[in-house]
Amino acid sequence: MKKYERITSVRNSGHGHYKVTISYYGKDYTATVTDMTLIDDYKDGDKINRMNQLYDYVKFMAIDNL
């Protein structure tokens, strides 16, 4: 499974804030993303490299900073 396919949900959580949930080794992790270019590229679905960056960002914020 590719990185961008592991993004399970992207939901609005306020003005300019999105909660993004990823699946990583069978567990779900959530982080708040304020970078709207990453969110827009994910929603458009045409820039796989940017969607992978969104996955990496959430992974860094939710897992690596524990």
> What is the C-alpha to C-alpha distance for residues 43 and 25, in angstroms, rounded to an integer?
24
**pLDDT per position as a tens digit, 1-48:** 788 899 999 999 999 999 999 999 999 999 999 999 999 988 888 788
Domain that holds residue 59: 3-64
Alpha-carbon torsion (34, 26, 63, 28), positive or negative: positive
pLDDT band at 66 (very low <50, low <70, confident <90, very high): low
Threshold 0.95, pTM exceeds = no
**65 compared with 13, residue with greater pLDDT:** 13
Instruction: Report the SS3 class of residue 46.
Output: coil
> What is the C-alpha to C-alpha distance for residues 19 and 36, in angstroms, rounded to an integer?
12
User: How many separate domains does the chain show?
Assistant: 1
